[in-house]
Amino acid sequence: MEPSSLFVNTSRGPLVVEEDLVGILRAGKIKGAVLDVFNLEPLPADGEWRRSDGGTDGKSRVLVTPHIPFVEESVMKGFYEQQAGELLRWSREEALKNTMY
């Protein structure tokens, strides 16, 4: 990866060898990482990724999110509106719109 690269993993923690990524970040070989998933979840209280420097000694930037990247106001508003609509249809014994069989 180029030194200006930003590594992003929002997929599956085990896809990444975390020890290797920490080494790359500590060496400052890439600009940083954004991580939403990890090999071990929840993260241990004393884990490498919970350190204030993200385990990189300040050479690269690290952003850690709590495995909920999709949660923003507009998404949650739509979700709750959809669920309220389904409950209303259910209470009226109407056909539901969002069913899986």
What is the set of active-site residues? 12, 41, 67
Point out which residues pair with 35 in neighbouring strands.
9, 64
Strand 61-64 and strand 32-35: pairing? parallel
User: Residue 43 burial by CB count (10 A; 0-12/13-18/19+): exposed, middle or buried?
Assistant: middle
Element at 6 (helix H, strand E): strand 6-9
Backbone angles phi, psi at 58, to 5 degrees: 80, 5
